[in-house]
Structure 1
């Protein structure tokens, strides 16, 4: 799970907002003398804050816990209770006691003295404790009261909350969070997160707020998001009347120009290069994909990549990955293998490169070279559910090409059991296995399911841009076309969406 901000930054924000680490303000003149219990608690807190100020959080933690659990805690001044709970929450988080940190942060933000920093700490704890509804409420509170604090939260943290809420059908919390972000004029640097505005527009349509839905949709800069709206009849109330706002070609070209500007603005970073290459691949401009990354390759070969790019170790494997993809789209299979092999040999996240190893194995299976594919597969430790689905799918392809019936059955069983982790991969597995009736039934199910519909509709679109294909890829396309042409599939499609033609590369099966 990605951290939204660093814990050091969270603590720094708390301190900047007025948290006392080394001292406790004396009682004001004229106040009644505190009880012995309150005086003792105050002394204990002074010592605990001193310990925190000295960097001895392990000593401070039990001291804070004792004070918070004591009956006299409720007799302390509200400001002091707020400070105590807040510091205790941060220390608990540092100690990876996420549920405890979350409980303390909730109590802290119940005070009138609660700051945006305190709500940020609560958001942080909620994400790690797995309480996505509360994470959504935290984002909403920040956007409504401290919108400037949103700059300290990574967009993927906000997107993570949204997607979790959508999957859990926590629509009321999700809608309130997204509307608060919209009202705060929040916008990620890249258009990758424009699906949040797409999903908010749909929520507004479902609440008969078509006018506001249309306003939300004006924030969308992503061609992919616009495409998914044009073909989905749920969006017809806002898309049918303003087709110019959902011009996929225009939006994609604008994204390309914005990505070029990012490269100029950040010549010491590779991520903007990777971003531009993704867009160029989508348009089928493969020669440009190679050209924009030639400089990075040259620096890598000279051995000064890390000196030239601040994110070289994290991003360069994806530079090679996309070069391989562009070469494959041009039918330069040997060159594509060479680049993906180079990518797979680079570390990923400081460990074994799982992503490019899977991609290399997949490329070998497309070329009907199962032995080389098997050699490319690595057995990682812990993986995401999505990553496991990709790994099992590659293993299924290898088993099919080797005609290993036992392995085929094992991998199909795994993919079916975990199909909700990535329903599109399960669809591909059925096609690869030749189960066209089952693939058609699944596609109809996806079209009928609101959570799966958008992906199914996007996959069914026609495309102008041509890419070279191996015989296995052509077979997969033929099977897919046979499935989508079936009358029962077409009837399901007609109820919920439509097929258009777009000048972009099709999803490869």
Structure 2
């Protein structure tokens, strides 16, 4: 919370505290300052953005008997402010205790609920974070949050057993009409997921969520799902995927021009161009951006540089410049990820090495995950194991392949696509077909499976590993049992775009 907001809240506290309670407190030694004088000092500190000075005074106030004689609204909001200050000082547990006390005494204002979303998420109480989110009332209550917070919360709730909490979170964001205001950011994938969650019980709500979507990827997911057939038929122009991709490119180009110091701009525009089959233009955009080496050329380089190098590698791969693609991704993999050892680009590097026929190098790349300090999520570990399985298959290391496939099958719920991909690499067409059928039968997974079984435009140059995988996928797609499962879930299509992420399988 800003100093101005804290000061305004404190002013309200002083106004409430000015009235005396009817009860007379038990006599005690007079403190050096009266309660109102201490509250005034707190106000001055908060006005000057000095939480570290205000907190000791607030702790003193909480020990005074006359504080408990003040109106409950005054007590509650003072606890609230103390909680906010504790949070700003990085003491999440202490902040949460004070906010809980404020809630018990008088209920929380929206700013207190906003704080409890944070303390719940980062204090390990995601149910509390969702409950606080559901209680927010003001239409602009979500403006205090960056999109990253909701992505973190959604990721924390990704496990199947937390699907109810995830739906509640998305329902709260839907009610408050959440829209990220950061350039190049989108919540479209989440809106598509929410639409799929509620379409059977609440078709109108699903249509409202779908109306927020403009990204061609989530639009494709809805387009293929038979539950959205009426919506797609009613709005053919909006579900025209090629037109949607062109619109996204135009919007992102405009945003890039308006935000010349954000490396996310060239990265996003390059990805848009690859989707449209224009990998040469994508490479030119990124080369121009990465040639800027002046100090502070990019305000978001800390996180975006690794993704820009990642995107450049994909453009080089699409153009058949395989050695350069590997080198570019190695540069990205050498960069930290959120202040820790890189995970995403290392996994992507191994995949590129597999695609260009270098399974030994891929195994060497993935071996870094044996070190405990390089931590991947359960989802990421599945990609690591899947990459190892593909390398073992390419090298004919059958015993290691069998062991890895057994492990992947036991953990398939953590990342079903990674399991499917390993089965395809192993040439297990029956196993891959069974995996796709399970995914198609699951309302939460069918969108990814339908998209994976669709046929996309090829890139300018197709890497040898991609060709082999595509041949096996075609065998799976053609099977009558898979065709029947597809028809039950929706449809697959010939998509007039290039698939730009290898994990969409």
Partner in structure 2 of residue 192 of structure 1: 186
Structure 1 residues 264-288: Cα deviation after superposition (integer angstroms, max 9, x where no partner): 0011111111111111111221011
> Do 1:197 and 1:217's aligned partners in 2 also have CA atoms closer than 8 Å?
yes
State whether residues 45 and 64 of structure 1, in contact with CA within 8 Å, keep that contact through their aligned partners in structure 2: no
Point out where structure 2 has 5 or more consecutive residues left out of the alignment: none
Q: C-alpha separation between the residues in 2 aligned to 1:492 and 1:287?
A: 38
User: Number of paired residues?
Assistant: 489
Contact 2:307 2:332 in 1 (8 A): yes
Residue of 316, 331, 354 corresponding to 2:320: 331
Task: Give the counterpart of 1:33 among 24, 46, 52.
Answer: 24
CA contact (8 A) 2:429 2:472 kept: yes
1:355–1:81 Cα change, 3 Å: same
* Residues in 2 aligned to 1:373 and 1:334: alpha-carbon distance in whole angstroms: 14
The 2-side partners of 1:63 and 1:45 are apart by 12
- Residues 238-280 of structure 1: per-residue CA shift (max 9 Å, x gap): 2222222211111111100011011100111111111111111
TM-score w.r.t. structure 1 length? 0.83
Deviates more, 1:86-95 or 1:255-264: 86-95
Give the alignment of 1:333-348 within 5 angstroms: 333-348=322-337
Residues 288-437 of structure 1: pairs in structure 2 closer than 5 A:
288-299=281-292, 303-304=293-294, 306-377=295-366, 378-379=368-369, 380-437=373-430
Residue 205 (structure 1) aligned with residue 186 (structure 2): no
How do 1:257-296 and structure 2 match up within 5 A? 257-296=250-289
Output the aligned Cα RMSD.
3.6
CA distance in 2, matches of 1:42, 1:355: 57
Q: What is the CA distance between 1:404 and its match in structure 2?
A: 3.6
Name which of structure 1's ranges 488-497 and 383-392 shifts more when overlaid on structure 2: 383-392
Segment drifting more, 490-499 vs 23-32: 23-32
SS at match of 1:503: strand
SS in 2 for 1:250: helix
What is the TM-score normalised by the length of structure 2? 0.84
CA distance 1:161–1:437, change in 2 (3 Å): same
Gaps of 5+ in 1: 1-9
Cα gap change, 1:108 to 1:400, in 2 (>3 Å)? same
Query: For 1:179 and 1:471, how far apart are their aligned partners in 2?
Result: 44
Aligned partners of 1:17 and 1:115 also within 8 Å:
no
Change (3 A) 1:157 1:347: closer
User: 2:455 — aligned with what?
Assistant: 462
Give the drift of 1:29: 6.2
For residues 226-237 of structure 1, what are the structure 2 equivalents within 5 Å? 226-237=219-230
Asked if 1:127 is matched to 2:121, the reply is yes
Map of 1:423-502 to 2, 5 A cutoff?
423-502=416-495
CA deviation after TM superposition for structure 1 residue 486, in Å: 1.4
Shift in CA distance, 185/416, structure 1 to aligned 2, threshold 3 Å: closer
Aligned partner (choices 18, 43, 66) of residue 9 of structure 2: 18
The 2-side partners of 1:370 and 1:45 are apart by 72
For the 8 Å contact 2:320–2:462, the answer to whether it is kept is yes
Q: Provide Cα deviations, 1:73-132, integer angstroms capped at 9, x if missing partner.
A: 764421332133214433554676645543542442466674332121111112123443
User: Are 1:231 and 1:457, in contact at CA under 8 Å, matched by a contact in 2?
Assistant: yes
User: Contact (CA 8 Å) 2:17, 2:70: kept in 1 or not?
Assistant: no
Q: What does the per-residue CA deviation read over 1:222-243, in whole Å, with 9 as the maximum and x for residues that have no partner?
A: 1111111110012123222222
Secondary structure of the structure 1 residue equivalent to 2:296: helix
Structure 1: how far apart are the matches of 2:291 and 2:112?
A: 47
The secondary structure found in structure 1 opposite 2:299 is: coil
Q: Which moved more, 1:15-24 or 1:483-492?
A: 15-24
